[in-house]
Amino acid sequence: MKKKILLIHTGGTIGMTRDSKSGVLRPDMFYASLLKVIPEISTIADIEVEIPFVFDSAELNFPHWQKLAAIIKNRLDKVNGVVITHGTDTLAYTASALSYMLPNIPIPVILTGAQKPLSELRSDARNNLINAVELATAEIPEVCIFFDYKLMRGNRTSKSHVNFFDAFVSPNYPLLAEVGINIEIYRANILKPGGPFHVFDKFSSSLAVLKLFPGCNSDYFQPGSNIRAIVVIAFGAGTIPMQSGNLPGRIEQWLEVGKVVVLASEARGGRIEPRLYESGNRLLEMGVISAGDMTFEATATKLTFLLGQHDQPALIRNNFQKSLAGEMTVLQ
């Protein structure tokens, strides 16, 4: 008996059509006729298509994530897996957000997309979609991203290239599965549900981000009273300038008024190590917390998620330093 898969189409390049006059890609309801375009999908599973909205992924944010979580919750007992087709630009943000919103999800939720529309010749859409559906029939109880023959934990993934089909990487966590002649599922890397399934759907946009670069004047960065958390994207292992400007002093002021300050690195791979150098060590002593080996996408969505759940800075700080959905490596 074939398994049942819910396919949720949200928009993005994978389902766009090209305007014949301008050549511009535009969102389309193309997926309404999905089974006519890729009839072989019906041999893998019984597919039900739902199209809650069709947008360029740059438009997607909290209300859209909440809609997706609600759809998944309502269909959880009726399907064996979920595939979400999504634009690639913010796909890793949506995957990270859903991983926090759907803790202990008992079925696979696999996000995928494409660099070229399904309707075009030499598109990667067909491969990504067929393999995502097949993997969604397996026992992989977490939120994932499938792209270019690789299944990755959603909150460990970043978009790394605009032009290549191999557009996503998981810099600090091994793959969950690879697709070749056979499908290799790496069971040891897959999350094990640690309790009952819940849905948490509150978010807050009270987050600001300061990206450093040599010679930048951070005085322009003035987070207002409505900002409750700040991510400072530092250099390398977590260094900031100490001899020019007064960024350490300003960070200390933010902490004194109750803002949560997180130190992250501009480097995608590896784990931030603030204690290696004087500046990072000083920040930790002030009360700044480290993003560890999380991606920026996982860091930003985790903070907006926690800001939505908690009012007290201490609770946000404590929960940020825990692994909520396998998004970070917690050192013992």
Determine whether 13 is an active site residue: yes
Q: Cβ distance 224 to 89 under 8 Å?
A: no
Cα separations (Å) of 149 from 28, 31, 126, 238, 280? 26, 22, 12, 33, 38
Token pair for residue 279? 């500046």
256 by Cβ neighbours in 10 Å (0-12 / 13-18 / 19+) ranks as exposed
Which residues, listed in sequence order, are joined to residue 153 by a DSSP beta bridge? 144
Which residues, listed in sequence order, are joined to residue 262 by a DSSP beta bridge? 231, 289
Q: What angle do CA 220, 226, 230 make, to 5 degrees?
A: 55
Q: Which of 178, 200, 180 is nearest to 189 (CA)?
A: 178
* Amino acid occupying residue 158: S
**Cβ partners under 8 Å of residue 214, min gap 6:** none
Token pair for residue 80? 């064996």
Q: What angle do CA 288, 294, 295 make, to 5 degrees?
A: 115
Token pair for residue 286? 């002030």
Kindly report the number of other CB atoms within 10 A of residue 127's CB atom. Answer: 17
* Amino acid occupying residue 106: P
**Cβ partners under 8 Å of residue 121, min gap 6:** none
Of the residues 13, 90, 94, 295, which is catalytic? 13
DSSP string, 73-87: HHHTTT-SEEEEE--
Length of the chain: 332
The catalytic site residues sit at 13
